[in-house]
């Protein structure tokens, strides 16, 4: 079986994309800009530095990326500090994994303060470690966050499975060398030998992990 299961956070494990959209919309409206769905799509999956740079460009530099980052982080911490909504089946699947004593990690491109707010707001969670932007030098789309999570867990990344949803996250996951499962919401993702695509955590169970583990071993020549 896989040595560890690594989960992305926003839009994958927790249903936070509506909060990100609302926060960005409200902030940009207060600054005189009409934040459209197309703008939100450009920012899907972060990291925050790319989002705030895009927002600053939309404002023609009237507000710096750093100032925008402060505004949006404060708003997201406020929104996510209470009860956190999970994506369908995410917690149930994580519970199944925990019952098999497989280590789990939450790996996010959001800042540590947001990740900690989410973890605090989760009354039930099974993550051994978490990784946030700022914990290491480079965040997604680089593979470093996932490589760091594997290192913290003391496992080989090639023997891990990563669940991701955004283009940025999938790029990072694939580059890490792990087996990847995509749960995309706004884009088409073609399957590859070590990249499978599902609609929701509701659609899978431990038998799928076993099947993917067998595929992973075969593809790695083990």
For residue 109, give the CATH number of its domain.
3.40.50.1000
* DSSP assigned state of 32: T
Overall number of domains in the chain: 2
Assess whether 93 and 45 both reside in one domain: no
- Tell whether 155 and 118 lie within a shared domain: yes
Question: In the 8-state DSSP scheme, what is residue 209?
Answer: H
Given this model, what pLDDT does residue 172 score? 97
Q: Are 63 and 55 in contact (CB under 8 A)?
A: yes
Do residues 74 and 173 share a domain? no
Task: Compute how many other C-beta atoms are within 10 angstroms of the C-beta atom of residue 59.
Answer: 15
Q: Do 42 and 140 sit in the same domain of this protein?
A: no
Same domain, 106 and 207: yes
Domain shared by 90 and 196, yes or no: yes
Q: Same domain for 111 and 50?
A: no
Q: Give yes or no: residues 73 and 126 share one domain.
A: no
pLDDT at 50: 87
Give pLDDT, residue 48.
85
Q: Go through 29-54 and write b for each residue having 16 or more CB atoms within 10 A of its CB, e for each that does not.
A: eebebebeeebbeebbbbbbebbbbb
pLDDT at 83: 76
**Containing domain of residue 22, as a range?**
17-80
Q: What is the pLDDT of residues 116-170, one digit of tens each?
A: 999 998 989 999 999 999 999 999 999 999 999 999 999 999 999 999 999 999 9
Are residues 120 and 193 both part of a single domain? Answer: yes
Please identify, among 47, 80, 113, the residue that sits at the C-terminal boundary of a domain: 80
pLDDT of amino acid 135:
96
Domain termination site, one of 38, 59, 80 = 80
User: What pLDDT tens digit does each residue of the chain (222 aa) get?
Assistant: 999 999 999 999 999 888 888 999 999 999 999 998 889 888 877 788 889 999 999 999 999 999 999 999 999 999 888 778 999 999 999 999 999 999 999 999 999 999 999 999 898 999 999 999 999 999 999 999 999 999 999 999 999 999 999 999 999 999 999 999 999 987 889 999 999 999 999 989 999 999 999 999 999 998
Phi-psi region of 11 (alpha: psi -120 to 50; beta: other; left: phi over 0): left
Specify whether 24 is located in the same domain as 98: no
Both 88 and 177 in one domain: the answer is yes
Answer yes or no: do 62 and 149 share one domain: no
User: How many whole angstroms separate alpha carbon 160 and alpha carbon 176?
Assistant: 10
């Amino acid at each position: 079986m896989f040595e560890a299961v690594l989960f992305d956070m926003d839009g994958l494990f927790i249903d936070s994309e509506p909060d990100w959209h609302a926060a960005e919309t409200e902030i940009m409206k207060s600054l005189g800009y009409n934040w459209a769905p197309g703008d939100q799509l450009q920012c899907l999956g972060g990291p925050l530095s790319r989002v705030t740079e895009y927002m600053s460009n939309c404002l023609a530099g009237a507000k710096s990326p750093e100032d925008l980052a402060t505004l949006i982080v404060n708003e997201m911490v406020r929104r996510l500090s209470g009860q956190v909504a999970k994506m369908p089946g995410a917690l149930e699947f994580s519970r199944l994994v925990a019952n098999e004593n497989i280590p789990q990690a939450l790996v996010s491109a959001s800042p540590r303060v947001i990740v900690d707010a989410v973890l605090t707001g989760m009354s039930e969670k099974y993550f051994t470690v978490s990784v946030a932007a700022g914990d290491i030098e480079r965040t997604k789309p680089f593979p470093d966050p996932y490589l760091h999570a594997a290192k913290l867990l003391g496992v080989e990344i090639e023997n891990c499975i990563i669940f991701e949803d955004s283009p940025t996250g999938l790029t990072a996951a694939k580059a890490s060398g792990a087996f990847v499962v995509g749960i995309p919401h706004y884009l088409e993702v073609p399957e590859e030998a070590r990249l499978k695509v599902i609609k929701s955590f509701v659609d899978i169970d431990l038998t799928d992990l076993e099947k993917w583990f067998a595929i992973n071993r075969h593809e790695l020549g083990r």
